[in-house]
Chain A
C-alpha cells in the first residue's frame, strides 16, 4: 500500500476480528473463575496501538459505585459556575449514574492488557491526501471511520457467539478511545 492509498476497511475489520478472537481466547486463559462484566478494545488509531482490556464483575460493581458517588459529590461544584447552564446537557450525561464502571483505566486487566497489537496508518495520516480528507468531523477522518469498523467487528463476533462462556452474567463489549476515560459499549452479550 502506498502512503496515499485509503485504508481498506474490510481488511481492518478482518484484522480486528482476528485480534479480538485472540484477545477473547486469552481472556479465557487469564480468567480466575470470576465472572467478567465488560471486555473493551482500547484503540488509538492515530498511534496504531490497540489493547484488549477486561474487568471482573465484582471489581466493576465496586468501581461503578465509587464512580457514581464521586460524580454525585462533584455535581454542586459543576453546577455553580455562572455559565454552567451552557454545558448542563453534556455534563448531565457525563455524570449520570451507571450500573457498570466504564472507566477502563481501572479495569482488572488494564495494568497488563490481555492482548495488545499494532495496526498503523501513520504514513497515510502524514500524507497530503489525509490532510484533504480530514476536515469537518467530530473525530478525525481516521478515528471516525475506525469507530464504525470496530463496532462492525464486535457485532460480527457477537453474531458468531465468540464471547460465549466468558461470563455467566451479562457481558458488555465495547471499545474506548483516548479522548475519554470512558468506554463505549457496543453490545450486551447475554449468557
Chain B
C-alpha cells in the first residue's frame, strides 16, 4: 500500500503557497482597479497602496512613480500626495507606468512604456531570460508522474480533491514558472 508521503508533502506545499498567493492576488486586483483608467492615473493609490500604506514601488528600480505636469512635475507620488491629499486627484506619470497582473496573479508595477522605454523594458527582458532558463531547467522534469502521485493520494484519502480542477490548480502553482510575489505587498 502506498504511503503517499511525497504527494502529501506536495499538497502541503501547494496549500501554503496558494494561501499566500490568494492574498497577493486579491491585493493585485485591488491595485489594478484603483489605478485603472485611460490617460491620467489616480495619485492616492500610487501613494498609499504599497507596503505598510506607503507608495507603490516599481518592481525593477524599487522607487515610487513620478508625476508629470502641473506643479508636481518630477515629484514622487507619495511626496505629492503628502502635499496635496485631494481625493480623486489624477495625474500624468513621468516616463509612463505599467500596472500588470503576473502569470501567477500577483501584482507588478513598473516605470516606463512596454516595448519602448523605462524599467518595464528591462523587466520584460529579464522575465524572458528567466522563463527560458526555467524551461531549460525543467524540460526533463516528469510532471505527469508527480500529478499521478497526487491523484492517487486524493483518490485514497481526499476524494473531494480527486478531480481535474484541483490537479490543474496544483499544477499551476507548483509546476509552472513562478515569477514570485513582486515587491509591493498587502502587508
Residues of A near any B CB (own CB < 8 A): 44-47, 49, 103-105, 111, 122, 125-126, 130-131, 134-135, 137, 139-143, 176-181
Contact = CB atoms under 8 A, between A and B. Distances in A.
Q: Sort A-B residue pairs by CB-CB distance and give the 8 closest, nearest first.
A: A140-B74, A178-B95, A140-B73, A181-B117, A181-B116, A126-B79, A46-B74, A105-B121
Given A47-B63, A126-B79, 7 more contacts: A105-B116, A125-B74, A134-B71, A140-B73, A140-B75, A181-B113, A181-B116
B100 interface: no
A126 B95 contact: no
B66 A46 contact: yes
Contacts, number: 67
B125 A125 contact: no
The range of chain B's interface size is 20 to 34
28 contacts: A46-B66, A46-B74, A46-B75, A46-B76, A47-B61, A47-B63, A47-B111, A49-B61, A49-B63, A103-B117, A105-B117, A105-B121, A111-B125, A122-B76, A125-B76, A126-B79, A131-B83, A137-B73, A139-B74, A140-B73, A142-B74, A143-B73, A176-B117, A178-B96, A179-B94, A179-B95, A180-B117, A181-B117
B79 A139 contact: no
Contacts of B117: 103-105, 176, 178, 180-181
A102 to B, nearest CB: 11
Interface in B114-129: 116-118, 121-122, 125
A46 B72 CA distance: 12
A2 to B, nearest CB: 17
Nearest to A142: B74
Contacts of B96: 178
Nearest to A128: B83
Nearest to B64: A47
Nearest to B125: A111
B71 A131 contact: yes
Contacts of A140: 73-75, 94
Contacts of B102: none
Contact of B74 (A49, A104, A111, A134): A134
A11 B16 CA distance: 53
